[in-house]
Amino acid sequence: MKRIFRNIVLIAGLAAAAPQVNAQVSVGISISAHIAPPALPVYTQPVCPGDGYIWTPGYWAYADPDGYYWVPGVWVRPPHFGLLWTPAYWGFEDGVYGFHAGYWGPHVGFYGGINYGYGYGGVGFGGGIWAGNVFRYNTAVANVNTTIVHNTYVNNTVINNTTVNRTSFNGQGGVNARPNEQERTAMNEHHTQPTSNQLDHERTASHDRSQFASANHGAPGTTAMNRVDGRRFDQQGRIANGVSSGKLTAGETKNLENREANLNKEVRTDRANNDGHLTNQEKSQVNQQQNRISNSINADKHNSNNAHYGDNPIGERRANQQQRVAQGIRNGQMNAGEVARTENREQGINRTIRANRQANGGGLNREQFRQATRQQNRAGRQINRQRHG
Average pLDDT of the chain is 85
The residues pairing with 86 across neighbouring beta strands, listed in sequence order, are 103
CA dihedral of 298, 302, 303, 309, whole degrees rounded to 10: 110
How many CB atoms within 10 Å of residue 307? 20
Tens digits of per-residue pLDDT, 325-356? Answer: 988 887 677 888 999 999 999 999 999 999 99
In the prediction, which pLDDT does 222 show?
A: 82
Average pLDDT over residues 96-124: 95
In the prediction, which pLDDT does 14 show?
A: 30
d(CA 233, CA 260): 10
In the prediction, which pLDDT does 3 show?
A: 36
Average pLDDT over residues 149-166: 77
In the prediction, which pLDDT does 4 show?
A: 34
Do the Cβ atoms of 239 and 325 come closer than 8 Å? no
In the prediction, which pLDDT does 30 show?
A: 60
Position with higher pLDDT, 8 vs 241: 241
In the prediction, which pLDDT does 120 show?
A: 95
In the prediction, which pLDDT does 259 show?
A: 93
Among 28-42, 211-225, 227-241, 281-295, the minimum mean pLDDT is found in 227-241
In the prediction, which pLDDT does 163 show?
A: 45
Among 51-65, 162-176, 179-193, 248-262, the minimum mean pLDDT is found in 162-176
In the prediction, which pLDDT does 161 show?
A: 52
Average pLDDT over residues 100-107: 96
d(CA 23, CA 290): 37
pTM for the predicted model, two decimal places: 0.64
In the prediction, which pLDDT does 130 show?
A: 97
In the prediction, which pLDDT does 336 show?
A: 87
pLDDT of 2 over the 70 cut: no
In the prediction, which pLDDT does 198 show?
A: 94
Average pLDDT over residues 293-305: 90
Give the pLDDT band of residue 156 (cuts 50, 70, 90).
confident
In the prediction, which pLDDT does 231 show?
A: 62
Domain range annotation of the chain:
6-225, 231-388
In the prediction, which pLDDT does 15 show?
A: 35
Tens digits of per-residue pLDDT, 28-57? Answer: 556 778 899 999 998 888 889 889 999 999
pLDDT of 203 over the 80 cut: yes
In the prediction, which pLDDT does 28 show?
A: 54
Share of the chain above pLDDT 90, in %: 47
Average pLDDT over residues 49-67: 93
pLDDT of 165 over the 80 cut: no
Among 21-25, 119-123, 359-363, the minimum mean pLDDT is found in 21-25
